[in-house]
Amino acid sequence: MTDKANSMAPQTAPGLPCPACGARIDIDVRELLIQDSFACPACGLTLDLDRKRSERALRAAEKVVVAMQEIDDLKKRWR
């Protein structure tokens, strides 16, 4: 039994509250990079992403995706 492996995995998924109904909209960081809009699962409101205004956030998200891919590679090597 090993219990070290899971301690470093991030448990919080990125998301934001819906401006219309307040429900949490879960956003996959990888989807954020390829999609321009997200729909609220509770009320159906569509949020459009302004790519120019969000450029900094998107760059940060890109780094997160690269880091996650590196972690996946490391996991494969450790097997």
What residues line the site for Zn ion (CB under 5 A)?
18, 20-21, 23, 40, 42-43, 45
Angle of CA points 44, 48, 50, to nearest 5°: 165
Q: What distance lies between CA 22 and its chain's CA centroid?
A: 19
Provide the minimum distance between the beta carbon of 54 and Zn ion in the complex, in angstroms, as a whole number. Answer: 20
Are the C-beta atoms of 48 and 36 separated by less than 8 Å?
yes
> At its nearest, how many Å lie between Zn ion and the CB of residue 27?
13
Of 14 and 64, the one with the shorter C-beta distance to Zn ion is 14
As measured in angstroms, the least distance from the Cβ of 19 to Zn ion is 8
